[in-house]
Structure 1
């Protein structure tokens, strides 16, 4: 597997990434309905908030096809910049092979290298705790939606400062949908 930034100028590559998101988030109850994560990703890619160095794809070693993706977007905690992670998607036939874990490690490392102080996401605590994420409220980072509870998680990065506390604001497409 190879992990690298998405080539946003390549329409076929972007469409392949969107197909992975579609496959990963489609539910048996609504097989013909486009998952909201697909349109969210389209909107993020169309605007200024998707961070190119944090919009990563995983390519199959054998076929060089996209089998997974993760997106990091410009977000804010108070006046401090932050990274909002998600969506994260792995093609159903490629799941349980460590691709999602590799993508999370890669996007966290890239966020750290870009000197973001914190990364935050909405996800399953049992899964993301292995990557150092904790309930955001324990870091004094307040969720955009209090009902998310412990599912809204954050991780301090090397550039963390005590001023990276307060209300977390995702890129506008997250709240417009």
Structure 2
């Protein structure tokens, strides 16, 4: 399927939120508030407009969205900037067609171009390793809450992007509200 991926524009926020809501409507492990998380992140210092991407059909309809936002990995007084991948959403009608994969790949590529060194994700243990994500505990990076090791993952965007980095992930305030 031919799609275009580009940064989301301000006038598309409502459409994107509707896509996110629709994408998570029947997800078992969702609290159905992902669209609200995106809305809050957009209003925070963690928001990076260039890393809020939408997928469009040939007709120009938005059918997917991915967001990378700022987080920190903290070990005592040491803080390292990183990114959180959350959420990635594809309209149910277009799921299982590789659109989520293309969105994630585009977001990772753009994050590299912007100079970021790593991405953290809490997600499906069989899906995210396809993009190079590995269990975060391999770098002694921990979630700030209880989660299975195989679901909490990290990706180095540059060679040795997580070398000498360890600690607890500190998500931005919108994740905690």
Report if TM-score (shorter chain) is over 0.5.
yes
Show the 5 A alignment for 1:23-172.
23-27=22-26, 35-61=32-58, 63-78=59-74, 79-158=79-158, 160-172=161-173
Gaps (5+ residues) in structure 1?
none
- Report the structure, 1 or 2, having the larger helix content: 1
2:16 aligned residue:
17
Partners of 2:90 and 2:52 in 1: how far apart? 14
Helix, strand or coil at the partner of 1:116 = coil
Helix, strand or coil at the partner of 1:88 = strand
The answer to whether the 8 Å contact 2:118/2:162 transfers is no
Number of aligned residue pairs: 169
Could you tell me the TM-score, scaled by structure 1's length? 0.89
Q: CA deviation at 1:115?
A: 1.6
Could you tell me the TM-score, scaled by structure 2's length? 0.89
Partners of 1:23 and 1:6 in 2: how far apart? 18
Q: CA deviation at 1:137?
A: 0.7
Write out per-residue CA displacement over residues 80-109 of structure 1, whole angstroms, 9 at most, x where no aligned residue: 100011110000001111100001101111
